Copies of this chain bind each other. A is one copy, B any other.
Amino acid sequence: MPGETKERVLAVATKLGYQPNKIARGLITGRTRTIGVIAGDISSPFYAAVLRGISDVVEGHGLGMLITNSDETLDREVAATKLLRENQVDGLIVSPCDVADSPHLREAVKAGMPMALIDRKVRGLLVDTVAVENVQSSRDAVRRLLMAGHRRVGIIAELATDETRLKDFLAAAKNQPPEGLQLLSTSWQRLAGYLEAHRAFGLEVDPNLILAVNGHSALAAQNAALVALTKNPRPTALFCADGLMSVGTMATISAKGLQVPSDLSMICFDDLDWMTFVGPGIDAIAQPRRRLGRAAARLLLARIGEAQGAPRDIRLSPRMIERGSLRSIR
């Protein structure tokens, strides 16, 4: 009567609504199928989007995600590291609050904890690090506008510093991507993406359509947008290099009685992680922050060795009934 026992066990299991205990499994396998994340502040648009990216791939693999906030303070980051290690997470994604040498992280790595860093490197920590792909994401965004047929695309970007620098930059970028992009501030990187998209289409860039806002405020952006929209011929689309630029630009668009997307298209590289798009023929969004999170998670899982895949079902035994362990919640 071999099959009979099996059925009896199965019957009891389903009747009791049995759910396997991953905690117990983790004790013996040494893997919890849970990763830990130390974010600065979940409620900030940046981290919210990054976390979503992480959770996309983590949940996709059937793993869990333990999240903590550091509020960008070292104390809380140390406490979070401790909490997560005690919880035996299989890996750690950290958005470090400081680039200085961090003993708590170094020690975790030394102890064999797989780790990926977000947005910042930490001195002396040789682990995978991901940061926003400003150039590529901007290039993708502007490419969408060009593919939709736009030929006069304005860019509203901070681009602090003097006129000459902009001229030099445009000259340097005329035929190939300028060097040392990683060292530039974000708005310059995003301008580089804008230029690259045009180059890929074999299009000349009209310098008049490159609006250096010179100041990181919505009001300054508003003025820049006003200048852009009075050019002749008027740009048919705008690319805003960040969320604040976009707010100011929208104000101008409204004030002029224009409507997006009927009168002009607009794409914004924004902190909410929507390439707030807009315009006919433009159907996708880039989500650079979310992609950043996904990249970090993928790197981490690769290092953890997710190749092993999902664990197999647990093997039920008659003794589990005798010992009354077929229950999920105690």
Contact = CB atoms under 8 A, between A and B. Distances in A.
Contacts of A55: 42, 67-69
A42 B48 contact: yes
A185 to B, nearest CB: 25
A270 interface: no
A20 B85 CA distance: 9
Residue among A44, A251, A290 with max Cβ neighbours from chain B (10 Å) = A251
A23 B26 contact: yes
Category for how many chain A residues contact B:
35 or more
A227 to B, nearest CB: 15
Given A251-B250, A272-B45, A66 B69 contact: no
A223 to B, nearest CB: 10
Given A17-B107, A19-B86, A251-B251, A68 B69 contact: no
A251 B254 CA distance: 7
A77 interface: no
A254 B328 contact: no
B66 A64 contact: yes
Interface string A52-69: 100100010010111111
